[in-house]
Structure 1
């Protein structure tokens, strides 16, 4: 058997029992969340449920990260609120299709590699913020409810954490759902159930074109939302994929995952569903329940559709207390508790980045804004640190006629000003040698700084030789430098 076929068989059939059981747990947990996210977006619950089915199934087939669960999410729902309010459901469906096309293009362009620029501090902040948001999302189910709800949530948590010590064959979250549902039914308790969140659909989704005018005006309406949803979706998906990589000690194909997310969203828009992406909470439920292969995501999607169409009456009776207990477990398991202890030992800049990411994500409920700010802050701290490693030393010949400046470190926008200040232009020896063999010239700011130093020395009648440039530095200086051009000083000064 060839390697591709062997890999395909392993991804689908290498963990069948655990994948099926994990997929069942995920399917149950997807129902209330899909309904809640539909409400957030301002659409009928079936829009989120159809989306969760379609996206989960398609990403399990064409995605690049086995074991990761994708469906309708809050991160994408909040971006689409204004579009639905101002233009209606059909524009949301058109937006979902275009979102998918943009994500497919991102995968073909291999934009997943930009994840290399997301630091560990930002990742930790993202995870911690998501854990807090998952917990906060459960609070409405814990406020102004009968006291028995608290008892059942506590019982559910006890089952989830204690049962695995004695039973490992069946995922403890599934046991939690069964036992708490049986208690509520057996004692006839009047508690909030899944059915109270919205009516479940009773028909299969139908393939239809979004009913919008095929005009440039429509494109300009949906394009900004599609770009935003595509960016948020890919960001959360890539981060979730990285987390699942670490949890399972395996590696997924990030660029294939971008394409898979795009295919799923494009098809979902034609099936009457809203855009979605990877779900870190459901992915962790899947992994902790034993799900590792593509079968878990596929069965989660198919199981979701089967439950709402065939077992809808039973599913609607599942107490929310059971699902709240599962999501609290996810919240606790998602949060990086070691990062709290590490605040005392980590560099202050890393701690500031992590805490800022958490604070902004929780405050805005927008993962993209928080992560973008964290990445920007990381870049600023990194630039400041690299700039501090820069130095210039000098020696002069015994006759005082030639001074040699030795530059060490990185010359770029953050170190350009210190570079200029390191030279004494009033000394005016006969000649100056600037040795950059231990340095690297990076950008237009550093080239301008080098030009300015050369021109200031020449203005004082000093001959200047720039020596030791590596090939990359020489290339950028030859391309952007103006020191040897007529009117060079005026060009540098912007005249």
Structure 2
């Protein structure tokens, strides 16, 4: 997969064309995620503009695309549903402040602790999630707001255009690289789709769908109908939204009154929710009421802000690492934290739902030739231009073209070579990759998947090294017994460390040589003191030798914390000379 996106020289034409491609592909996702969050599609588009522009200019990874994302939307939806939209914008601002603190504290480098097996699982799981999300575009809405898969001619036309898009993206680079393949595919398939919608009879369209070839405008109408139906059933039959704002409603279980209410709600949908046209964004308090500025409000928004900040940074930093590997360049994780923080603060001030890096759109950008900051900034500006001036044209783009682009992203994202890693890498690493992949694919929570992967990898590492502590035993010419330790001494290896010694049968003088080991934590220091105390109770002397300066400093600082008691603190000496073959001074 990485060979597909190797570093290419920056070119202004490629940057601009790539940015245009990203903007077109970004629009339906921003709209869909807004519906998932339970807010107006315009809020999702404004969020994509502010997050995309500011992160492109100030972020730590040129070529990476940021915007409104599903990971943030699934956190936001609970806040909006329970407390109302007026609490959303202060939460996003607080989220940005927390991300700024992470950047100032230079904690972005913690992403280096993510093992390669977790990275593989993240990439593979992400590819599966992107693939599954595209199936929502093959659905149409019924009279009661229930989503059903297309059937008949509409389905076959959709599949044919998706396949055509993928073929163009695959073949065109072999012929010319003057135009990004994704952009060329979108334009050509859009021309075919618009012509088909004008020439083909309406009875070929899917149920309740205006056009034979589903367009971005049709998707807006579909999501608006689903949201209207869910609003009617919110207190009686909550429906779980997917990554496209789609929800499953059991039409057969609806009463006559519920069906009538849903039908009426669909007939009276606000036209603003079925169009992307809007004016310039304004400060949120000019449109929405402010929540009370009290500690109770802070208590409400703070947990959501913490989760948003964590999810946004984890997904952004993982995306940064993926793009680093693909382009063979190095991003700045701390700067990315700062950029994300500033972007979310501004986004919240102007009535946005927040956002972070988008792996799928970043891959489209890289594949289309976007390597610098220009492509991301231009994509954001194009997005706002579409909203202000060209909304009717964007709404005519077939969803099949965008689905085909994303399917090609899936093929390029999945690490196919990882399928051959079984028995070629340690079993624990392979299992971690599988766990992260499956968790990501099933739960659709990328941030939690990464955290779980890191935890499992850490536990596996600790368990593996817990039994790596052993000792070579020797006696010097004066009868002193020398334990020359090997392996790390930390919480998981303490039990093994204590089993190495035999205080009752050992001679009067014992040397513990740390030349080949290190003490890493409080548990290790406590184990040393416990062993020394056992020897002291038997009237024997223990010498510690070749402790590193850091280990000696730790023991000195913890002297009053890890001894048995103040009255019987074990007394031992710390030597700086190797004692093998030398006399031991008490």
| Same-fold call, TM cutoff 0.5 | yes
- Which secondary structure state, in structure 2, belongs to the residue aligned with residue 423 of structure 1? coil
Which of 172, 181, 189 does residue 180 from structure 1 map onto? 189
8 Å Cα contact 2:196/2:213 also seen in 1: no
- Which secondary structure state, in structure 1, belongs to the residue aligned with residue 487 of structure 2? strand
How many pairs align? Answer: 477
* C-alpha RMSD of the superposition: 1.8
Q: Which moved more, 1:74-83 or 1:139-148?
A: 139-148
Q: If each structure's helix is expressed as a fraction of its own residues, which one has the higher value?
A: 1
CA distance in 1, matches of 2:442, 2:284: 38
- Which residue pairs with 2:490 in the alignment? 412
- Which secondary structure state, in structure 2, belongs to the residue aligned with residue 379 of structure 1? helix
8 Å Cα contact 1:35/1:197 also seen in 2: no
- Which secondary structure state, in structure 1, belongs to the residue aligned with residue 284 of structure 2? coil
Q: How does 1:27-176 map to 2 (within 5 A)?
A: 27-142=23-138, 144-145=149-150, 146-176=155-185
Which of 416, 420, 426 does residue 347 from structure 1 map onto? 426
- Please report how far the alpha carbon of residue 295 of structure 1 lies from its aligned counterpart in structure 2 after TM superposition: 1.1
- Which secondary structure state, in structure 2, belongs to the residue aligned with residue 308 of structure 1? helix
CA distance in 1, matches of 2:138, 2:414: 20
Q: Which moved more, 1:270-279 or 1:59-68?
A: 59-68
Which of 179, 192, 208 does residue 214 from structure 2 map onto? 192
8 Å Cα contact 2:99/2:337 also seen in 1: yes
The normalised TM-score by structure 2 is 0.79
The C-alpha deviation readout for 1:366-388, integer Å capped at 9, x for no partner, is 11111111111111122233334
Gaps of 5+ in 2: 1-8, 140-148, 201-211, 221-273, 571-586
In the superposition, relative to structure 1, how do residues 204 and 476 fare at CA in structure 2: closer, same or farther (>3 Å)? same
8 Å Cα contact 2:468/2:493 also seen in 1: no
Q: After TM superposition, which residue ranges in structure 1, 4 or more long, deviate above 6 angstroms?
A: none
- Which secondary structure state, in structure 2, belongs to the residue aligned with residue 65 of structure 1? coil
Q: How does 1:17-32 map to 2 (within 5 A)?
A: 17-32=13-28
The yes-or-no answer on 1:470 pairing with 2:479 is: no
CA distance in 2, matches of 1:340, 1:368: 23
The yes-or-no answer on 1:359 pairing with 2:438 is: yes
8 Å Cα contact 1:428/1:461 also seen in 2: no
Gaps of 5+ in 1: 1-12, 491-495
8 Å Cα contact 2:347/2:353 also seen in 1: yes
- Which secondary structure state, in structure 1, belongs to the residue aligned with residue 424 of structure 2? coil
8 Å Cα contact 1:428/1:460 also seen in 2: no
CA distance in 1, matches of 2:519, 2:333: 32
- Please report how far the alpha carbon of residue 256 of structure 1 lies from its aligned counterpart in structure 2 after TM superposition: 1.4
In the superposition, relative to structure 1, how do residues 396 and 104 fare at CA in structure 2: closer, same or farther (>3 Å)? same
8 Å Cα contact 1:102/1:227 also seen in 2: yes
- Please report how far the alpha carbon of residue 489 of structure 1 lies from its aligned counterpart in structure 2 after TM superposition: 8.1
8 Å Cα contact 2:471/2:483 also seen in 1: yes
The yes-or-no answer on 1:328 pairing with 2:404 is: no
The yes-or-no answer on 1:223 pairing with 2:302 is: yes
- Which residue pairs with 2:452 in the alignment? 373
CA distance in 2, matches of 1:351, 1:343: 6
- Please report how far the alpha carbon of residue 167 of structure 1 lies from its aligned counterpart in structure 2 after TM superposition: 2.2
CA distance in 1, matches of 2:564, 2:405: 69
- Which secondary structure state, in structure 1, belongs to the residue aligned with residue 432 of structure 2? helix
CA distance in 1, matches of 2:563, 2:89: 56
